[in-house]
Structure 1
Amino acid sequence: MSESLLFKLEGPVAIISVNDAPRNRMTLDFIDELETLVNDIANDDGIRAVVITAEGLENFSVGMNLKQLPEGIQRAGDPETFFDQRLRLIAAIENMGKPWIATLFGYCLGAGLELPLGCHFRLAAEEGAQIGLPEMDLGTVPAWGGSARLSKCVGRNHALDLILRGKKISGPEALRIGLVHEVWPLQELKQRAIDLAQELAAQPAAAVKGVMDVVIGSEDRDLADLLKAERAAVMGTFGTPDQQEGMLAFLEKRKPVFNQG
């Protein structure tokens, strides 16, 4: 791997860091390597949750390295193929069936927000975060799914306000409008994200995937379809070692220990 991305494991938790401090731009190499990693993580049953963060404490990411745009389009062959890779990558994260947690601190702009929008949990710094999609200032619109995912996340009114006005909001404001799940002091943020990932990784993996299969994209599916998906999730866990352990632990009045077999 190049130096644009760092990867490590803490038990069942994978930790991925953008490594271009202090700005932590998402370079062409970073996207290529992240796409490979996402595929590897999806196929590794030992990894049950992922944290995506960045080196340093200045910024999560100012977004794409715009100076590389011509080279990226040349490599891809045309602009649509170039942007398709980014859309494909974020969709793969979103639909993986394993929880991803993003940390938002400092500048989280453009792709530095669009990638977290594909994650399932977003934790922001209590102080110093500037979160937004400033593409209007460049005479264009978000190209990595940001306008679509932001509107689904926070609703039309907030999405239009943020995008059309090029606003940058703080962590507490992002929490208020539902863009992030929690805010923490900057010095604690990364560890809190890892703690959450460890908590989620300790849940029964098949049940986690089952719930995510039902909930992700649920706003675009009718109730009958969702109920079928839920039943499939139930039957997929019925009689498994984790389901048996959960029932036994309940009867024995103790905390269950999942993912042991």
Structure 2
Amino acid sequence: MREEWVKVWKEGAIGRIELNRPQVLNALNRQMVAEIVDALTAFDKDQDIGVIVLSGAGRAFAAGADIDEMAYDTPVTLEKLDQFSDWDRIRTIHKPILAAVHGFALGGGFELVLSCDIIFAAEGTMFGFPEVKLGVMPGAGGTVKLTKAMGRAKALEWLWTGEMFSAEDAKAVGLINHIVPSELLLEETLAFSQKLLKQAPLALRLIKDTVNKAVDYSVFDAMQAERKNFYLLFASEDQKEGMKAFIEKRRPNFKGK
């Protein structure tokens, strides 16, 4: 697919994806979401890429979905489009996805943020789900992920009022990881990416898999998944290298094998 609404490039072992509809504050249309997911999938399969960073051009990360595109949809047209199948594919990405968020992350833009693994937000960034003010509700996981992160009562408050909340509020309830000055947003996000690139790629992959399962599984079932992934890593060359390097008091040379 030709990239019309996103920019995609490599910076060493970091895969960069930048939302690029700044004239409409990066409002997410269906093609844009497909382009984002296609880029994520391509980087996930690229052996030279270890971390993926998602950001937005212009004054906002993404100020919501493209309302003009969906205003006249019906249940039948939406069923045939099956647009959320693209969103479901984000969950299948094995590599770390970092979000660098600024300005606004609203509606679908906020759902995209919540689909990432580690989230850096610039000071002054605002988050929210304003869908209720349009007579609808989030449909790409917003109600579910917000509730799991914040708890039922607080999630209902934000979803029912449609009000925006600050990066500080988001960080206080564990929705985002870091708040940084706006001029340092990408610098800090990329610096954190470098930390991850020093780790064993297979360990990162299986840790992400286990943590994702822990969100949905019972404690017992999640622990069984953890145990299997722990055992599996002992079949890797990286495990042998990591433990040998520890014994020899040197830095390991991980190869993702």
> Measured at CA, do residues 150 and 81 of structure 1 come closer, stay the same or move farther in structure 2, by a change above 3 Å?
farther
> Measured at CA, do residues 235 and 217 of structure 1 come closer, stay the same or move farther in structure 2, by a change above 3 Å?
closer
Q: What corresponds to 1:123 in structure 2?
A: 120
Partners of 1:29 and 1:113 in 2: CA distance: 18
Partners of 1:199 and 1:253 in 2: CA distance: 19
- Structure 1 residue 171: Cα displacement: 1.2
Aligned ranges for residues 140-219 of structure 1 at < 5 Å? Answer: 140-219=136-215
Contact in 2 for aligned 1:38/1:92 (Cα 8 Å)? no
Q: 1:177-227 CA distances to partner (integer Å, 9 max, x unpaired)? A: 211111000111122112222222331111111111111031321233222
Q: What corresponds to 1:240 in structure 2?
A: 236
Partners of 2:165 and 2:183 in 1: CA distance: 19
1:108 aligns with 2:88: no
Greater mean deviation of Cα atoms: 191-200 or 180-189: 191-200
Secondary structure of the structure 1 residue equivalent to 2:210: helix
Q: What corresponds to 2:51 in structure 1?
A: 49
Secondary structure of the structure 1 residue equivalent to 2:28: coil
1:5 aligns with 2:6: yes
Contact in 1 for aligned 2:105/2:113 (Cα 8 Å)? no
Contact in 2 for aligned 1:95/1:216 (Cα 8 Å)? no
Secondary structure of the structure 2 residue equivalent to 1:180: coil
**Structure 2: 5+ residue stretches without partners:** none
Contact in 2 for aligned 1:63/1:109 (Cα 8 Å)? yes
Partners of 2:215 and 2:6 in 1: CA distance: 33
Contact in 2 for aligned 1:246/1:256 (Cα 8 Å)? yes
- Structure 1 residue 161: Cα displacement: 1.6
Partners of 2:222 and 2:30 in 1: CA distance: 37
Contact in 2 for aligned 1:158/1:177 (Cα 8 Å)? no
Secondary structure of the structure 1 residue equivalent to 2:251: coil
Q: What corresponds to 2:37 in structure 1?
A: 35
RMSD: 2.1
Pick aligned residue for 2:134 from 138, 149, 173: 138
Q: 1:142-190 CA distances to partner (integer Å, 9 max, x unpaired)? A: 1111111111122212211211111211111211121111100011112
**Structure 1: 5+ residue stretches without partners:** none
Greater mean deviation of Cα atoms: 148-157 or 22-31: 22-31
1:253 aligns with 2:255: no
Contact in 1 for aligned 2:64/2:106 (Cα 8 Å)? yes
Partners of 2:93 and 2:156 in 1: CA distance: 29
Q: What corresponds to 1:85 in structure 2?
A: 83
- Structure 1 residue 50: Cα displacement: 0.9
**Identical positions, percent:** 30
* TM-score, normalising length: structure 1: 0.89
- Structure 1 residue 3: Cα displacement: 3.3
Q: 1:39-86 CA distances to partner (integer Å, 9 max, x unpaired)? A: 322322322211110113x11011111112258x59x9721343x433
Greater mean deviation of Cα atoms: 112-121 or 22-31: 22-31
Count matched residues: 255
Secondary structure of the structure 2 residue equivalent to 1:217: helix
